[in-house]
Structure 1
């Protein structure tokens, strides 16, 4: 049980010495990327850059002990960071001490929810955000985040509101931009994009941050008007007492739930992607548990929320890391940075930090996926488009909520409208297929083979019977037997069973017999208890569709016809 709760107790005793050097190199690569990115992502969350550095060390150590993935890296995140800013910003004004304290409190609340869901073994919750909704959410988030960072990139004032409001404000105030901040921001962004293209293994964020800082420090007299980070406190982070006001916690709860759902889906996707390459196992419920102390410790030590990051994990893998030792190495160097090196970041320009964020968001965008989705499934593309439009017009939380609701409605519609069909036998085989898709399939005059396309329950039985009635009405030859292929039926609830019993009785009064093939044991148990088996007759249940067809033919019916 101890190894299950604290997985490091399982793999650390078997740690191989030859993995140490690759893990150290992977940890150094993570350190080089996470320090400037954490300071940049603090701008998304709406807190001072130093809080980004406070957010790195405790979560890396906590996940190394409690995470089930050998390589997943946790840290600040753009998607959930913006939700955090919006959640706290709806309660207190950004830029105040109360805002920073509530941001840390929100991280603690998120950690408690992660632990609670992990204890309840609710790892399945992430399945309620399908890929098109998540992709649409990220694409909308890319637009919202970039337009929020453009003022910092250009050195102009920003504003609050939705995407359209911020965009219009930026367009109106472009004339207020000064040359020095604009050049700094655009050159930093160009350097980020170029380095990622020609040298993907180089820590572009660190290179750009260091180069911009040195340039601003050297040319300080010529760089008037460029906002810089300023003095950062050195030393250990201080303990933050969380806000325990019930009203404030209640106001933070919806945003915290959204972050847990979105962040967990993102983290679990990253962990599974890593597991597919390494062959390791990932426990979804343990991932919930691991994110609990990672966020709680981050909040208690003055940081903000963290989730698993696929981009940082990919960097660790590309750098040769083998285990969570790389996370611990990165945590050590980030700790040393926090204690000794923060004065080096005093002259880091805000336009460069904005460029790092914008480059990270552009890296997240996948327009090719949307084009592919449009060709593969127009309905799912429509849902993704609605999520994007909802984020841009209504807000980030509203957009993701709209996508989840639409997906659930779509799921209800599909399960309540099973893909039932009349079947025919493929020539020379014992396979039976939809006659609409396979015109060559052989049908049997007088016999209707009907496939139940899915589970039969109170919401789907009406559609099933409606389709079967339509097939009986449009049959060119009078049907005297219906054979139902129930191979896809895993559930038959009492409402559907009662309705089915009444329908079968009605057909029998019309001289039409009823039979079933490929009925699963639990479904037949429901039929037996509901009286369907007694009305149909135990002899009219067959293991294969072919057996049902042969039994019907054996009773003297015509052999076959097109």
Structure 2
């Protein structure tokens, strides 16, 4: 389990201490009306919302890797639990509710723990920024709509947009103007102070002023509501009453709640992380969610979720670490022990204005405006996630956004960047033919670059592009697969069909420039024969050389092409190419090629062909290693050729001297490296075939 405690408090910057303390106290105060309201939505007494803002938030602060995200009783889990109680015919506030809700919370914590062990956090990596932005904006807008009736003198709304709109309309019919005036003035003050003095804790001042108003003015007589006072004391610890609710229904309900908590909180956490340029450990976050909900279950609370509104408030007042959450938790303990009477003096319109102000700052409509200018497709994805959350609820909004995101990704990858390559006379590098008239195709060769993973959605594009480009004089097609990171089975089958179709027309088909992992996939997918037949090469240059086309390459239209640089001859390292092509099987495949050469010797008796493998154009630098493999079969070669060991060994040494001379002439900087490697190869031969090594060693001594 690689779990780290207090990760955001390591190497703590003392300059952040005051900010974290102030933000923690403000978050505690803001949590009072939010938590109490959502606890009642979940069917529990209001005080259990405050209980849920103690131990769960403290434990989350210890284990979270997010420096700013806050845990607490929140809308989505509370609403899901409340609706589940209705379907189970359990009356809100009853003893049965008090027993059933902690059981649901316990199983939510178990599911989250299971998600942690399944490493489900990585799923967030597949959710795009437009989805995250639309999601967080949808949640903020939904909660704002829930809060608006409280400013008007009514109660918090529940449900999705149309239910919330209906509730706002009904509340407006009995609107309380003093409440609206207080709420609007508080909201204006918060907006103005955020602009002119963003670091000033105006929310604390407004709560203090609101308390003074309640004490000194008859605001209750004016119809302005205040919070209900609660009994002092901390929550009591107890084991949930598991028989209180049927286990099958508990598992089903808790699974849906756990999925919502994981998806909503991780998305919101990642959204804040991206905006503020830090990283979180998604999987450890799920572990922190689980522990927080275990704390809630054992103190009788409803499931706990990450809170966008509290986090936005902390961001507004420059909270920097989880010390903010820990301070909020301990502040709530002090409040429950000593200050519950104070709660009854807090005007709801002012508290609601504080929440709305923070949520409006957390919306990402600016991202939507940017996407509208940059990418209409991603703008639609943003709006899909936003409207999905707003109209259909959290989890449905997430699913809509993910579906849109994946659909857009498939559409994009099914139309990848691709081009045909040529070369500019006098230059070495291949470039897009459309770059300009000075780029020319190589005569009789089509070089095609495909910059995407190959899968069922785009293989037809590749196949059509290549087939449509074939001309009567085409001798070969070279696929530059440098941008290909994976191949699925559909693409592999179509590549096999294309390979055979081109072969039937007498056209060679090569795959080049890709990473070695692709070769493993080709073998696994049944295309290993392409490697064995030498049609999978490391570079375009080697593929051309395999066809017998060398520099300067002949260009279409009779364009002259002379090399401008006097650079040394390129080294095509064949043994390294085998390692690239075959990976862990390279030694076995080299040996296989040697066996094929020896079999050819049996048929032809031509010793010269023995020094050239079926993968043609092996240059000097690695011929020596190839010879070392051949030397291991010295006795077998002697038996086939009918010549004595000394004659064959002398032939090997003569060929090796030729190689050494070529390296000295063409690559003098590598000559010393050749000697060092020769020593390594000799040791290898001595270990595996001491009798052959002794013969070679004697020959060298006699020559000297």
Short-chain TM bin: 0.7 to 0.9
Deviation at 1:368, TM superposition (A): 1.4
Deviation at 1:133, TM superposition (A): 1.0
Q: Specify the alignment match of 1:86 in structure 2.
A: 79
Deviation at 1:85, TM superposition (A): 3.5
- Paired with 1:439 and 1:244, the residues of 2 have a C-alpha distance of 77
Alignment of 1:370-409 (within 5 A): 370-409=368-407
CA contact (8 A) 1:58 1:294 kept: yes
Instruction: State yes or no: 1:522 paired with 2:520.
Output: no
Compared CA separation, residues 140 and 325, structure 1 to 2 (3 A): closer
Q: Specify the alignment match of 2:360 in structure 1.
A: 362
CA contact (8 A) 2:27 2:314 kept: no
- Paired with 2:280 and 2:507, the residues of 1 have a C-alpha distance of 53
2:260 to 250, 258, 261: 258
CA contact (8 A) 2:447 2:477 kept: yes
- Paired with 1:194 and 1:499, the residues of 2 have a C-alpha distance of 63
Q: Specify the alignment match of 2:134 in structure 1.
A: 136
Q: Specify the alignment match of 1:333 in structure 2.
A: 331
- Paired with 2:137 and 2:465, the residues of 1 have a C-alpha distance of 39
**CA distances 1:407-442 after superposition (whole Å, capped 9, x unpaired):** 233334444554443234467765545445767643
DSSP-derived class of the 2:226 partner: coil
- Paired with 1:251 and 1:367, the residues of 2 have a C-alpha distance of 33
DSSP-derived class of the 1:489 partner: coil
TM-score, normalising length: structure 1 = 0.83
**CA distances 1:253-286 after superposition (whole Å, capped 9, x unpaired):** 223202212212323554677774xxxx854322
Alignment of 1:321-470 (within 5 A): 327-425=325-423, 430-435=428-433, 441-470=439-468
Compared CA separation, residues 258 and 327, structure 1 to 2 (3 A): closer
- Paired with 1:300 and 1:144, the residues of 2 have a C-alpha distance of 30
2:55 to 54, 58, 68: 58
**CA distances 1:15-66 after superposition (whole Å, capped 9, x unpaired):** 77xx596575345213321122212322356366533432332134313443
Deviation at 1:315, TM superposition (A): 6.1
Compared CA separation, residues 509 and 308, structure 1 to 2 (3 A): same
Alignment gaps of 5+ in structure 2? 560-704
DSSP-derived class of the 1:90 partner: helix
User: 384-393 vs 531-540, which deviates more?
Assistant: 531-540
- Paired with 1:555 and 1:198, the residues of 2 have a C-alpha distance of 69
CA contact (8 A) 2:77 2:305 kept: no
- Paired with 1:110 and 1:428, the residues of 2 have a C-alpha distance of 68
2:34 to 41, 44, 54: 41
Compared CA separation, residues 275 and 338, structure 1 to 2 (3 A): farther
Deviation at 1:305, TM superposition (A): 0.9
DSSP-derived class of the 1:456 partner: coil
Compared CA separation, residues 155 and 541, structure 1 to 2 (3 A): same
- Paired with 1:399 and 1:166, the residues of 2 have a C-alpha distance of 17
**CA distances 1:156-203 after superposition (whole Å, capped 9, x unpaired):** 467655313432553465342122111122122222223323332233
- Paired with 1:187 and 1:430, the residues of 2 have a C-alpha distance of 71
Q: How many residues align?
A: 541
User: 210-219 vs 90-99, which deviates more?
Assistant: 90-99
Deviation at 1:484, TM superposition (A): 0.3
Deviation at 1:207, TM superposition (A): 2.5
CA contact (8 A) 2:55 2:295 kept: yes
- Paired with 1:160 and 1:64, the residues of 2 have a C-alpha distance of 29
**CA distances 1:384-417 after superposition (whole Å, capped 9, x unpaired):** 1122233333333322221122223333444455
**RMSD (CA atoms):** 3.6
CA contact (8 A) 2:485 2:515 kept: yes
- Of structures 1 and 2, the larger Rg is shown by 2
Instruction: State yes or no: 1:32 paired with 2:34.
Output: no
CA contact (8 A) 2:260 2:395 kept: yes
Compared CA separation, residues 249 and 38, structure 1 to 2 (3 A): farther
Choose between structure 1 and 2 for higher RCO, CA contacts under 8 A separated by at least 6 residues: 1
